[in-house]
Amino acid sequence: MDSVLVSRENARRFLVSRQGFHVEKGKDGTLETIKRLKCVQIDPVNVIHCNHHLVLHARVSDYEPSYLDTLLYEDRAVFEYWCNEKSIIPIEDFRYFKYRMRNFMEFHSPFYERFKAGREQLKDAISHVLASIEAKGPLSAQEFKQDKKVGSKTAQRVLNFLWDIGKVMIHHMEKNRRYYDLVERVLPPSTNIETPSRAEYESFMTKKYMRAYGLIDVRDWRFGWLDLKASQRRLIVEEMVEDGRIHPVEIEGLRHIYYVLEKDLGALTSSEDSLDEKVHFVAPLDNLIWNRRMVSDVFDFDYAWEIYKPPEKRLYGYYVLPIVQGSRFVGRIDPKLDRRSQTMVINSLLVEEGQFSEAFVYELAVALRRFLKFHNASRIKIVRTKPNELGAALLSRLNLVA
């Protein structure tokens, strides 16, 4: 099959528009967003709101964390499990993830890898924790603190493991404490729990991955969210091209061939759709930037999450969020919330050369005002901007933006 040549601008519009920035509203819109994205990556770091809340805030116009809590712990419309790392996933996908739960030894897991060396010695602890949950209902590791048979540290290891293999699910959370209950008592009664075959699981994960990423990159080590060698990834793509399920794409100015699902080819090649010029702050683990190499190729924008780098090696900051306007990455913002004083500290706000304009400052102020409201911040402190005059212009505009 011959490849289709598209402009880089078309590729950019395709990738940004399918993210659905600010297109949904309310709890129902939050669920629709998760379904469209296929999964949302979870991360506990709370310099500001955690990654998963930032992802949803960028797409749901009136998003509140309580929307997600309700979907997770009351409606049971979504659940947490391994996908693009630990993620929030629509409940209708649960059946397919049962394969991994049932065959956990075939997969890498941070929880299981840390646990398996002492698994034999912990058989009694596993039985005790399961029996306690069955008898008492949802429990957290803290409830085992005074338990002489287990203790809270061992209980947390056991609960992580039991969650990994599908024996328990998260029933609810109190602050940052997770309470676990038996899967059969948490799942909605209508949930399909038939375990698929390995072939069904791999086929499902590959399709889910392709829908989530938009442009398919055979170089991606996360391909299909499966542990595949490069040769295996190429074989899957070749077979899907032959079957007409995906189409090779050549992007103007790039050597590497990408692929797109056949059903998305029209959206990729269309020049009719345009994006508004609203500004969006993109979470560090946002779906749009999962494939950093593709972002660099298509958008000419290099991004690395520098949170784990020592301060002296950081180029941009500890918790930097890329800034998107239209189909372009136009800058970076490094925020930190001082919850005690309700102050949003902007350690740095750096925009690309030629981006500074009155129209841009207005859209940036609108996005920042919404960002402050989401974090219940009544004050803002801007430490550094590039260009230097951006700070004063933005503060002036913030007073005018309702």
Helices in 137-279 by DSSP H: which ranges? 152-164, 183-186, 198-213, 230-242, 265-269
Whether 78 is covered by a domain: the verdict is no
Supply angle C-alpha 190, 195, 197, rounded to 5: 145
Whether 305 is covered by a domain: the verdict is yes
Whether 252 is covered by a domain: the verdict is no
Domain boundary among 196, 213, 234: 196
pLDDT band for 402, please (50, 70, 90 cuts).
low
pLDDT digits over 341-359, tens only? 999 999 999 999 888 899 9
Which whole number is the average pLDDT over 2-16? 95
Domain boundary among 149, 179, 196: 196
Cross-strand partners of 321: 333
**For the domain that residue 175 is a member of, what is the CATH number?**
1.10.10.10
Q: 318-355 burial by CB neighbour count: b if 16+ within 10 A, else e?
A: bbbbbbbbbbbbbbbbbbbbeeeeebbbbbbbbbbeeb
Cis peptide before 138 (omega within 30 of 0): no
pLDDT digits over 183-224, tens only? 999 999 999 999 999 999 999 999 999 999 999 999 999 999
Q: In this predicted structure, what is the pLDDT of residue 110?
A: 74
Higher model confidence: residue 122 or residue 155? 155
Q: Output the six-digit token pair for 121.
A: 């010695």
Residue that is written with structure tokens 């790392």 in the block: 85
Which whole number is the average pLDDT over 102-120? 76
Whether 155 is covered by a domain: the verdict is yes
Q: In what order do the strands lie in the sheet with 78-83?
A: 40-41, 85-90, 78-83
pLDDT digits over 31-42, tens only? 999 999 999 999
Non-local CB neighbours of 378 within 8 Å, separated by 6+ positions: 342, 343, 372
Residue that is written with structure tokens 């005074």 in the block: 146
Domain boundary among 173, 196, 219: 196
Whether 43 is covered by a domain: the verdict is no
Higher model confidence: residue 121 or residue 341? 341
Helix (H) or strand (E) holding 33: helix 26-37
Whether 209 is covered by a domain: the verdict is no
Whether 131 is covered by a domain: the verdict is yes
On whether the CB atoms of residues 201 and 100 are closer than 8 A, the answer is yes
Q: In this predicted structure, what is the pLDDT of residue 118?
A: 67
**For the domain that residue 333 is a member of, what is the CATH number?**
3.40.630.30
- The DSSP output letter for 92 is G
The range of the structural domain enclosing residue 132 comes to 91-196
- The DSSP output letter for 196 is P
Closest CA to 195 of 99, 124, 101: 99
Supply angle C-alpha 29, 35, 41, rounded to 5: 100
pLDDT digits over 367-387, tens only? 999 999 999 999 999 999 999
Q: How far is CA 82 from CA 88, 101, 281, 325, in A?
A: 9, 10, 25, 31
Q: In this predicted structure, what is the pLDDT of residue 115?
A: 67
Report the number of distinct structural domains present in the chain: 2
Q: In this predicted structure, what is the pLDDT of residue 177?
A: 92
Phi, psi at 199, each rounded to 5° = -65, -40
Report the distance separating Cα 160 and Cα 154, nearest Å.
Answer: 10
Whether 334 is covered by a domain: the verdict is yes
